[in-house]
Chains A and B, each alone.
Chain A
Amino acid sequence: MADLFPITLLSLQVSILATLISLLIGLPLGTILALGKFPGRSFLLSIVNTGMALPPVVVGLFVAMMLWRSGPLGDLRLIYTPAAIIIAQTIISAPVVTGLTAAALQQLNPRLRLQLYGLGASRAQMVLSLWREARLPLLAALMAGFGSVISEVGASMMVGGNIRGQTRVLTTAIVLETSKGEFERAIALSAFLLTITFLVNWALTVIQQRGRS
């Protein structure tokens, strides 16, 4: 278990970065989908909602094809690197954050926007006020986004390759140990994965509930 620490660290680095990139994409996109009025908005929302249920192996396949040496982005030499896992995990969690952001903002009273404008808010101030008002479900969106990537294995395995010391993360290590019949090691890794997932979500929940009080 000497490599437990680097595996855990890489898992956290990759999943936290993918979640933060998803937040940068999902927060504005979800806001536009929730508040905007433009043709095709419902269709786009349906696409995002479908994306929330994207199977990680399908994402893994798509990203692997893109990053494969002979693929369209092969020259970037990203296949079997942590960057490839981050790309795949971002594709998995961005629809989750986007869809839940849109839902969080749509559940607010639509007249609240009128009220904020009527008090002299600029468009940016109005959006910031709505984000603040929906901070509890928005933090839940962040937790769901993180949960969707820290626990996935298919995409990480396919685009990362589970290379020891380079792209091995907790989930791919669990698969490997199980396939070798090393159940004790697999259980220990699983317990560790659950513990860090709990700790990250606990920290986010504390922030969320402090906002409530």
Chain B
Amino acid sequence: MTALIEVRDLLVRREKQTVLEIEHLAVQKGEVLAVVGPNGAGKSTLFLTLARLLKHERGTIHFNGTDSMSTLEYRRRIALVLQEPLLLDASVRENAAIGLGFRGIPRVDSDRRAGHWLERMGVAHLADRSARRLSGGESQRVSLARAFVLEPELLLLDEPFTALDSPTRARLLEDLKAVLAETSTTTIFITHDLREAERLGTRMAVMLNGRVHQMGEPREVFAHPADAQVAEFLGTTLG
């Protein structure tokens, strides 16, 4: 397998404090890596650094074997879904197509592609509605469609289900799992919810205090925590 993204010797500091220090982290093509950890573990810092929205002090992030890509070129090969859907004050269709517009895709094509992904995410009937009139679950579906329509090589998800109620979250999780399986989109999924991580991730990374303490298949991580801190976070015992 080839690593789509490979991080080496990464150091991020904020206000002279080390907030992220990762020796090595590689995500293979087609893999869904769930990154779990408590609040303040450095998950969101990792997310922003991988999206090249936060500068790192040291280390390299190789994407498809290179780290010499311009920031804009890099960002146009990934897509981002944040905890809040952050839709613009426009129609659902316009929102779904905005990333294609940034890439200069003609309106006819972008509308067609946006329509396809709105359909796939189950919100095609809302295409002409103002994005301001959507429920939380609908908004997050549009936000996911907006990301998938870009056919990203890497999809970054930062706790996209946190603000949703339980039934909505469960349905969306299942739909997302199906789409990821169908498209084989390489994904890094940040969450503090262990069940979500286990459900969606093909591998799991446990982050504590800015470091990756353990990485492996979810079942393996739960069965054999690497150290006492991981075991405590997972609520299991060292095995």
CB-CB contacts below 8 Å: A98-140 with B? 109, 111-112, 114-122, 125, 129, 132-133
When A114-B53, A132-B88, A133-B89 are in contact, do A120 and B150 touch as well, CB less than 8 Å?
yes
Would A119 and B72 count as touching, CB distance under 8 A?
no
Given A111-B82, A125-B102, A129-B98, also A117-B75 (CB < 8 A): yes
Q: Which residues of B contact A111 (CB under 8 A)?
A: 82, 84, 86
The contact size tier of chain A is 10 to 19
Task: Find the A residue at minimum CB distance from B51.
Answer: A118
Contact A118 B102 (CB under 8 A): no
Chain A residues lying within 8 Å of B102, measured Cβ to Cβ, are 119-122, 125
Interface of A is mostly: helix
Cβ–Cβ < 8 Å partners of B79 in chain A: 118-120
Tell me if B80 is interfacial: C-beta within 8 Å of chain A. yes
- Structural contact, B99 and A119, CB atoms closer than 8 A: yes
A117-B53, A122-B72, A129-B98 known; A109+B84 contact, CB < 8 A: yes
Question: What total of A-B pairs shows CB separation below 8 Å?
Answer: 52
Contact A120 B103 (CB under 8 A): yes
A120 touching B53 in the complex, CB below 8 Å, given contacts A111-B86, A115-B86, A133-B89: no
Bound-state Cα–Cα, A115 to B89, Å: 14
A115 to chain B, nearest CB (A): 4
**Pair A118/B156 contact, Cβ less than 8 Å:** yes
Q: How far is the CB of B156 from chain A (nearest CB, A)?
A: 7
Contact string against B for A residues 140-166, beta-carbon threshold 8 Å, 1 for contact and 0 otherwise = 000000000000000000000000000
Query: CB-CB < 8 A to B150: which residues of A?
Result: 119-120
**Contact between B88 and A118 (Cβ–Cβ < 8 Å)?**
no
The 7 closest A-B pairs by CB, nearest first: A118-B80, A119-B99, A120-B76, A115-B86, A120-B102, A121-B102, A125-B102
Interface residues in chain A, defined as those with a beta carbon under 8 Å from any beta carbon in chain B: 109, 111-112, 114-122, 125, 129, 132-133
The contact sample of 8 A-B pairs, CB cut-off 8 A, is A109-B84, A114-B48, A114-B80, A116-B98, A118-B79, A120-B99, A120-B150, A121-B102
